[in-house]
Structure 1
């Protein structure tokens, strides 16, 4: 299996007058849904796809709940998820309040096995 890529021109945002350069950009090869994952897992064990789907939905709900409480969610050989925030700076510690928080996002840090998988990929230019 290989990851397909296409070539796109991009301008340098720091120097708009500079000539464009061309960069390889990955091309998605479809998507896999929770239902599809449940079917795949069901074929690899003794559970039904409905049982697997229920477990995956429960994982989804529990991850949302745990992340919303500020916990780091570790998913074994997949990686960890954590909420991160960006905030405006203040001159004094006592001036910092929740209203200074401008944005939040989910950080994902891949586990070792997932990082190793990246090293085994091959690439093919899309037609």
Structure 2
């Protein structure tokens, strides 16, 4: 069950407009790599240590491929891609790596994953 709370937010385009109330998800905890390895090992014939090693290797290789500028697509999970926040400059010839302020990873879920996680497949409750 996914717990929801109610929050009040202003309109970012018009701070003078009346605030509205929105539902927001309350995280019920965190699942780490060890837990995922344990779950996978209990659903297969592979032991927990091997699952952990494979997942760690996958993460390492995703990072390496992203550093090469590639989009990493994992079927049924989604795609990872590097994105940057950069300072604006006055001329195209002034665009260079020094204008980059930060790097992030964008994730786009696979359509199959997105379809399996929808409003009809989740039980919600208000806390």
2:124 corresponds to 1:124: yes
**Cα RMSD between the aligned structures?**
1.8
- Deviation of 1:123 after TM superposition, in Å, equals 4.1
Instruction: State how far apart, in whole Å, the 2-side matches of 1:95 and 1:62 are.
Output: 33
Instruction: State how far apart, in whole Å, the 1-side matches of 2:125 and 2:20 are.
Output: 17
TM-score w.r.t. the length of structure 2 is 0.86
Unaligned 5+ segments in structure 1 are: none
Alignment of 1:1-127 (within 5 A): 2-119=1-118, 120-127=120-127
TM-score w.r.t. the length of structure 1 is 0.86
Q: Which moved more, 1:85-94 or 1:111-120?
A: 85-94
Say if 1:88 and 1:101, in contact at 8 Å, map to a contact too.
yes
Instruction: State how far apart, in whole Å, the 1-side matches of 2:61 and 2:6 are.
Output: 39
Unaligned 5+ segments in structure 2 are: none
Q: Which moved more, 1:35-44 or 1:95-104?
A: 95-104
Moved over 3 A (4+): 88-93
